[in-house]
Structure 1
Amino acid sequence: MTNAHDVLLDASPWVKRFALSIPKEGSVLDLACGGGRNAALLASLGYSVLAVDQDINAIQQWSDSLIHPRQENLEGETWPLQGLQFAGIVVTNYLYRPFLEQLPKMLVDGGVLIYETFAEGNAEFGKPSNPNFLLKPAELLGLAASSGLKVIAYEDIYLDQPKPAMVQRICAVKGHLKGHLKGRIPLQFHG
């Protein structure tokens, strides 16, 4: 069994940086949650988290009053989370384009999308190397623009930690920037 402290330390620095931007009202979706590192972080901050993955064995140990594991095939014929609404959606190290445009639709007004995954050029450093799992240049910016999301921060960069990788990541809000975001997070673009 993994130590909760270790899981919190292992949470994505990008998610750590922007997690408190998510409104406290409503729940947060941790999509393709894996071992639950980001779900555990969000729960530690007081958020109710729906932790979804095709294999929830690793996340079941974190199931408590704030983390709700749900097993779903995220790459099937139909979108399994149709009709659900969230104050925040967190996705790290996962990309499945057929349902990518569903994510902004699932945010409530003022809801925050925090997305981080591998980008083109990552094949130079190892896996994933399949173009189906690598974001194209400015792809997350395009998703935000086509969905009416306001970009808080965006990066398309090389990272050397925890291992060399090309990564694209965004934090964006649906609707108008609410008071809790204004002045708190400087707008940043890198890439």
Structure 2
Amino acid sequence: MAEPSDWVRRWSHLAPAGGTVLDVACGSGRHVRWFAARGHAVTALDRDAEATAGLADVAEVVLADIEAGPWPLAGRRFDTVVVTNYLWRPLLPVIMDSVAEGGLLLYETFAIGNGGFGRPRNPEFLLHEGELLAAAKGLRAVAYEHGFLPEPPRLVQRLAARRTHANGPDPLRRELLETPDSPASSEGE
């Protein structure tokens, strides 16, 4: 079983505890298993029944060709949405809309220029610089990267973003500000 993406591992602590997770184009489920092992209810979405065959014990498996048919999860929102190594531009608004209020988006895929290192090479499947940021309407970026990764060599774009709460304070802002070394967390001590 492949290891979870470093990006997903780095930012998964921001996923609402015990919340729902959607893994789009999940393949064999490296991130499905990662989140399920941490107590999340996971929905695994992919078109390949063979790849997802071993996931039924840890996730709700939804088989659908999301490029050729309707979005199978219409109206559903998730506390965390994960997308890695996948890009189908017509679905970007649907994916962004699938992030619940207060929820987290973790997205990592290939960027323009990756063809010099391997597949994919087709520009239809490669992000332009800043494209994820532009697509993440209604979400607030927590972290964004666009650049070269050495192992294996590739050009990627990565985004961790939150859908802020419509009412009241943003719990992520409080979480980021109240680190053990921050004045906000040591007041009154």
In which range does the TM-score fall when normalised by the shorter chain? 0.7 to 0.9
Q: How does 1:48-59 map to 2 (within 5 A)?
A: 48-59=41-52
Aligned-residue Cα RMSD (Å) equals: 1.7
Q: Give the aligned residue type for 1:132.
A: E
What's 1:183 paired with?
Answer: 177
| Secondary structure in structure 1 of the residue aligned to 2:26 | coil
What's 2:62 paired with?
Answer: 70
Report the alpha carbon displacement of residue 54 of structure 1 after superposing the two structures with TM.
Answer: 0.3
Task: Give the 3 Å change call, closer, same or farther, for CA 181–140 of structure 1 in structure 2.
Answer: farther
Confirm or deny that 1:158 pairs with 2:145. Answer: no
Q: Give the aligned residue type for 1:81.
A: L
Looking at structure 2, the residues matched to 103 and 183 of structure 1 have their Cα atoms a distance apart, in angstroms, of: 28
The gaps in structure 2 that reach 5 residues or longer are 180-189
Report the alpha carbon displacement of residue 104 of structure 1 after superposing the two structures with TM.
Answer: 1.8
Number of equivalent positions: 174
Report the alpha carbon displacement of residue 173 of structure 1 after superposing the two structures with TM.
Answer: 0.0
Q: How does 1:34-183 map to 2 (within 5 A)?
A: 34-64=27-57, 66-144=58-136, 147-161=137-151, 163-176=152-165, 177-179=170-172, 181-183=175-177
Q: Give the aligned residue type for 2:121.
A: S
Report the alpha carbon displacement of residue 184 of structure 1 after superposing the two structures with TM.
Answer: 7.0
Report the alpha carbon displacement of residue 57 of structure 1 after superposing the two structures with TM.
Answer: 2.1
What's 2:22 paired with?
Answer: 29
**1:129-167: CA deviations, max 9, x gaps?**
0001000110011112xx121110000010111x11000
Preserved contact between residue 143 and residue 160 of structure 2 (Cα < 8 Å): yes
| Secondary structure in structure 1 of the residue aligned to 2:28 | coil
Preserved contact between residue 56 and residue 70 of structure 1 (Cα < 8 Å): no
Preserved contact between residue 56 and residue 69 of structure 1 (Cα < 8 Å): no
Report the alpha carbon displacement of residue 76 of structure 1 after superposing the two structures with TM.
Answer: 1.6
Q: Which has the larger radius of gyration?
A: 2
The gaps in structure 1 that reach 5 residues or longer are 1-5, 186-191
Identity of aligned residues (%): 41
Structure 1 length normalisation: TM-score? 0.85
**1:33-91: CA deviations, max 9, x gaps?**
01100111111111111001000322321322x41211011102422221111001000
Confirm or deny that 1:19 pairs with 2:12. Answer: yes
Structure 2 length normalisation: TM-score? 0.86
| Secondary structure in structure 1 of the residue aligned to 2:55 | coil
